[in-house]
Amino acid sequence: MTVLVMGATGKTGVAVVEALSSRGIEVRAASRHPDLSRAGIEQVRMDWSDSSGWESALRDVDGLYLVGPYAEPDNADLIRRLLAAGTGVQRVVHLSIIGAEVLPTGIPVAQWELDIRESGLEWTILRPNWFFQNFEESFVATLRDQGLLELPAADAPISFVDTFDVGEVAATALVEGGHGGRTYTLTGPEAITYAEAVAELGRAASRDLRFTDLAPQEFADRLTAGGAPPWAVEWQEALFELIRTGQNTPVTDTVEAITGRPPRPLSAYADRQAHHWLKPQPELPEAGVDRTIPPSPSQSKLN
């Protein structure tokens, strides 16, 4: 079996590549900027905004890990067109998002899910909750530099999930049969507030890190002032409206049901990545996602 992993440099893509490779599956890692010098895993160039490379990237591929063109303008029919180009693909696992059915159409996640369900392929749709790994990427600068995170999340609990659990679910669905026609909501082992999550990162970094709730309008104004286009502001507002209304709170047992082991807890993630939230020092490396593969938790221990 050969699997094309889209977004292979991204937060879940790295984990999917690792999980497939460790099962001995032939992986083709797709990126706009493939590291062609990297040995061991085939690298291909693939760009949502340039369909000329799609057919060759998909040639002789039977499984596809599909991360949608969420940052692309005119993205409505791109997934339909991509699937039409992949004539040998039989099984597709699509990274969607929790709340896909109610989110605004600037990023048409519900339509993409529908396109995949109607593709005639054996499909599995993953709807993960917010990733732990956002704390080392999107939110890292203010946490590291100011010790503060401000978001319009109020005190609503969120069942954050580790992308390496998403990766293992995706690999299982791609490699093993029995997951076709299923839509899975993926969460971590517990629901915690942003304030609790940030305090946990602070514990790991031996530092007082704080979360402050932000009024939704202030949040939207800051995004706009920072140059975000209206559709992106609307998208972010909708994501946090879901959080504030408790829709990111439920905990599912799907990760364990599919992988056979419990999802990784935030404490393990925080200990692993604590260097991201240390007080800035001149010799610190650039912030970014650490691609080190974390160990699996023990079967019996959640925290």
Ligand X SMILES: NC(=O)c1ccc[n+]([C@@H]2O[C@H](COP(=O)([O-])OP(=O)(O)OC[C@H]3O[C@@H](n4cnc5c(N)ncnc54)[C@H](OP(=O)(O)O)[C@@H]3O)[C@@H](O)[C@H]2O)c1
Question: Which residues are near ligand X by CB under 6 A?
Answer: 7, 9-13, 31-33, 46-49, 67-68, 70-72, 95, 97, 128, 130-131, 134
Q: State the Cα–Cα distance between residues 168 and 22, nearest whole angstrom.
A: 10
**Residue (80 or 207) nearer to ligand X, CB:** 80
Report the nearest approach of ligand X to the CB of residue 95 (Å): 5
Q: State the Cα–Cα distance between residues 191 and 250, nearest whole angstrom.
A: 7
Report the nearest approach of ligand X to the CB of residue 218 (Å): 22
Report the nearest approach of ligand X to the CB of residue 282 (Å): 27
CB atoms within 10 A of CB 275: 14
Report the nearest approach of ligand X to the CB of residue 174 (Å): 17
Report the nearest approach of ligand X to the CB of residue 10 (Å): 2
DSSP letters for 62-96: -EEEEE--TT-SS-TTHHHHHHHH-TT--EEEEE-
Closest to 185 in 3D by CA, of 94, 264, 254: 254
Report the nearest approach of ligand X to the CB of residue 300 (Å): 28
CB atoms within 10 A of CB 21: 18
| Sign of torsion over alpha carbons 257, 260, 261, 263 | negative
**Residue (98 or 220) nearer to ligand X, CB:** 98
Tokens 């939110």, located at residue? 139
Length of the chain: 303
Of all residues in this chain, which one has the CB nearest to ligand X in the complex?
Answer: 10
**DSSP β-ladder status, 63-67 and 42-45:** unpaired
| Sign of torsion over alpha carbons 303, 258, 136, 37 | positive
**Residue (46 or 92) nearer to ligand X, CB:** 46
Report the nearest approach of ligand X to the CB of residue 216 (Å): 19
Phi, psi torsion values for 295, nearest 5 degrees: -70, 155
Report the nearest approach of ligand X to the CB of residue 85 (Å): 14
**Residue (63 or 167) nearer to ligand X, CB:** 167
**Residue (103 or 220) nearer to ligand X, CB:** 103
Alpha carbon 281 to its chain's center: 29
Closest to 190 in 3D by CA, of 268, 109, 271, 79: 268
